[in-house]
Amino acid sequence: MERSDVVIIGAGGVGCAVARELSRYKLNITVLEKECDVAGGISGRNSAVVHAGFNNVPGSLMAKLCVEGNQGFEALCGELDVPYKKTGKLLVAFDENDMESLRGVLAQGEANGCKGLRLVGADEMKDLAPGIGGIGGMYSPETAVFDPFLYCIALAENALANGVQFRFNSEVVSIGRESSDGFIVKTAGGSEFGCRLLINCAGLSSGRISEMAGGPAYRLYPCRGEYFILDKVADDLLPMPVYPAPRKGIGGLGVHLTPTTAGNIIIGPSAEYISQIDDLSCTKPVMDGLYAEAKALLPAIERKMIIGSYAGIRPKLAPPEEGGYRDFVIKEEEDCPGLVNLIGIESPGLTASMPAARMVRRIIGDRMPLEEKEDFIAARKAPVRFRDLSEEEQAELICEDPEYGELICRCQKVTKREIRNAIENPFGARSISAIKYRAWATTGRCNGGYCLTRIVDMLIHEYGMKPEEITYRSAGSEMFDGKVK
C-alpha cells in the first residue's frame, strides 16, 4: 500500500488546483484520476470563460470564490504560462424586460465586488462588439477567456514538479477507514492508497465518493450543455463573450457566444437535466436550437462555419424542480473527520478553482501545522507554440530544430516538434486527446483529416505503439483494430 498525507480524488480543474496549492507545503500528496489524463470530465467541456462573479448570489461561496478567482486569474495564468485573454464580456438585452434583468445583475455584481460593470446603450454595444443585435446591454471589463485544458495541464505539471504523485487510470472503487484517523482508498486496478486526509474533487462522482468515504450522500443532478465550435474564419466576428440577459429557468447562463484563446468561437451551452452522468451526446433538437439562438445574437454566423460539437455535464446540487443554483459545498465533513468535500462545483468552478484550493488548504491548516517548502517552484513554462511566434522567431527555431519546420496539423499550424512535446508529456498520457489538448492538433476545420494519420504514424514508428494500443481517450476508446497485414 502506498501511503500519503493527502489523497486527492479527481484531476479536473479543482483537483489540480488543490494539488498545486498543497504542493507548496511539506506534504506527501497523491492524486487519483480515473481517466488517462487531466481535464477528462467537466473541466474539459465548458465555455472556457474566467467569470467576473456577477451571476452569483451575494454572500454565497460561489460569488466570493469567483470574484477572488477572477482577480487572481491573470497572474496565475502568467505564472503557469496558460493562454489567457482579458476580453471583457457583454450581456445583451433584446427588450425592456431584459434591461430590467441586467439592472438586477449589475446590482448583484456590485454587491459581490465585481469591478467596472456598467450598462451600455446600443451605440456603445456596436463599438464593443460590432454585429451583435439587441437594444442595450451590460459590459463587464474583467471577464476573460482562457484555455481550460492547458490550465489543468499546467497546474498538474507544476504540482508534479513540486513532488505531487499522479495516478491515472485509477478509478476509486472503495474507501475504507484505516483507523479513526485515516483512509484506505482502493482503485479498480487493485492498488491501495493510505492517507490521513482525503480531498474529494471527483466532480460528477463526488456524491458517490463522499458516501464511499463515510460522508454524507450528496445527490448530484447531471445537467448537460451542448456546444458548437466554429471555424477560425469566424474569429473576427466576435471580440468578447456575448451572453443573453439572464432569464428565469434552470441554472445555466443561456446560450452564448464565446471566442476562445485558440481562435474558434464556441456556441452554447444548452441546459438539460439528464439521467446519466456520462451521456455526452449531442442531440438534434438542441443542435438546431443552438444555431438559431446564436444566429439571433450574431446574425453573421453561418451554418457552414460549424466544424464540431461537444457536450459537457454540470454537477448540479439543485434538482430539476428547483432549478437555478445551489451553492458550492467545500468543507471537512463533521461526521467524517479527514474527508474534505468539494461538491457541486459547477460554473464558475474553474474561475473559483484556486480560491477553492486555498480554502482547502486553510481547512487542512486548521487540523495540522503546514510547513512551507523552501524549494517550491512557482513558475511553469509551456512548450513553444510555433503559430504564436513571429516569422523571425519561427525561422530561428527551425534552425535549432528542423522538426519545427515540419507542419503536421495544417489547420492549426502545429509542427512535428510540438506533437513530440505533447506525446512526451510528463504524465505519459499518449491518447489522441492528450496530444490534441496539448498541441491543439486535430481541432481545426478538417477534424484531423490531415494530421491524424501522421500522428498515428509517429506513435507507431517513433514510439513503438501498436495500432490497437492507440486510444482516443481512456481505455476502451481504442482507435484501431490492429494492423491490416
Partner 1 sequence: MNRSETSTTQYDVLVVGAGPGGLAAAKGAREAGAERVLLVERDSRAGGILNQCIHDGFGIVRYRQQLTGPEYALKAEAELADMGIELLTGCHVLRIDAQEHVHVVTVVSADGLKHIETGTVILATGCRERTRGAIAIPGSRPAGVFTAGVTQNLVNVRNVMPGKRVVIFGSGDVGMIMARRLTLEGAHVEAVVEIFPQPAGLSRNVSQCLYDYDIPIFCSHTISNIIGKKRLEAVEISALDQDMQPVSGTERLIECDTLVLSVGLIPENEVAQTAGVALDAKTNGVITDEHLQTSICGIFACGNARRIMDLADFVSEQGEMAGRNAVAYLRGAEMDTWDEARTSSMAKGFPEEGVVTCTLCPTGCQVRFNEETGEYEGNKCKRGAQFAEQERTAPKRILTTTVKLADGRLLPVRSAFPVSKQKLPQLVRQTSEITVSPPVKCGETVTTLQDGEREVAVVAAAEM
Specify the residue, 33 or 142, whose C-beta has the smaller distance to partner 1. 33
> Does residue 275 belong to the site contacting partner 1 (CB under 8 A)?
no
Report whether 111 contacts 72 (CB < 8 A): no
* 396, 426, 428, 463: residue in contact with partner 1 (rule CB under 8 A): 396
- Interacting positions 354-393 with partner 1 (CB under 8 A): 391-392
Per CB under 8 A, the segment of 51-59, 126-134, 150-158, 476-484 that binds partner 1 is: 476-484
> Does residue 205 belong to the site contacting partner 1 (CB under 8 A)?
no
* 218, 228, 243, 437: residue in contact with partner 1 (rule CB under 8 A): 228
Report whether 317 contacts 332 (CB < 8 A): no
Spatial CA neighbour of 9 closest among 161, 227, 181, 185: 185
Specify the residue, 268 or 344, whose C-beta has the smaller distance to partner 1. 268
Sole residue written with cell 476509486: 172
Sole residue written with cell 480524488: 9
- Interacting positions 431-470 with partner 1 (CB under 8 A): 445-450, 452-453, 456-457, 460-461, 467
Spatial CA neighbour of 193 closest among 3, 433, 466: 3
* 281, 377, 378, 428: residue in contact with partner 1 (rule CB under 8 A): 281
> Does residue 476 belong to the site contacting partner 1 (CB under 8 A)?
yes
* 154, 306, 354, 429: residue in contact with partner 1 (rule CB under 8 A): 306
Specify the residue, 154 or 407, whose C-beta has the smaller distance to partner 1. 407
Size of the site for partner 1 (CB under 8 A): 58
Report whether 8 contacts 31 (CB < 8 A): yes
Q: How far apart are CA 472 and CA 178, in angstroms?
A: 37
Does residue 461 have an active-site annotation? no
Cell of 360: 482547502
Specify the residue, 365 or 402, whose C-beta has the smaller distance to partner 1. 402
Q: How far apart are CA 165 and CA 349, in angstroms?
A: 23
* 307, 320, 335, 368: residue in contact with partner 1 (rule CB under 8 A): 307
Q: How far apart are CA 349 and CA 329, in angstroms?
A: 11
Specify the residue, 161 or 446, whose C-beta has the smaller distance to partner 1. 446
Report whether 357 contacts 29 (CB < 8 A): no
Tell me the closest approach of the beta carbon of residue 82 to partner 1, in angstroms: 25
Q: Are strands 2-9 and 221-230 parallel, antiparallel or unpaired?
A: unpaired
345 beta partners: none
> Does residue 477 belong to the site contacting partner 1 (CB under 8 A)?
yes
Tell me the closest approach of the beta carbon of residue 384 to partner 1, in angstroms: 14
DSSP one-letter string for 347-374: TTHHHHHHHHHHHHHHHHHHHS---B-T
Q: Where are the beta strands (DSSP E) in 84-160?
A: 84-85, 89-93, 118-121, 136-140, 144-146
Tell me the closest approach of the beta carbon of residue 81 to partner 1, in angstroms: 24
The active-site residue, picked from 51, 64, 326, 420, is 51
Q: Which residues bind partner 1 (CB under 8 A)?
A: 228-229, 278-284, 287, 304, 306-310, 391-392, 394-396, 398-399, 402-403, 405-407, 410, 413, 445-450, 452-453, 456-457, 460-461, 467, 471-485
The catalytic residues are: 51
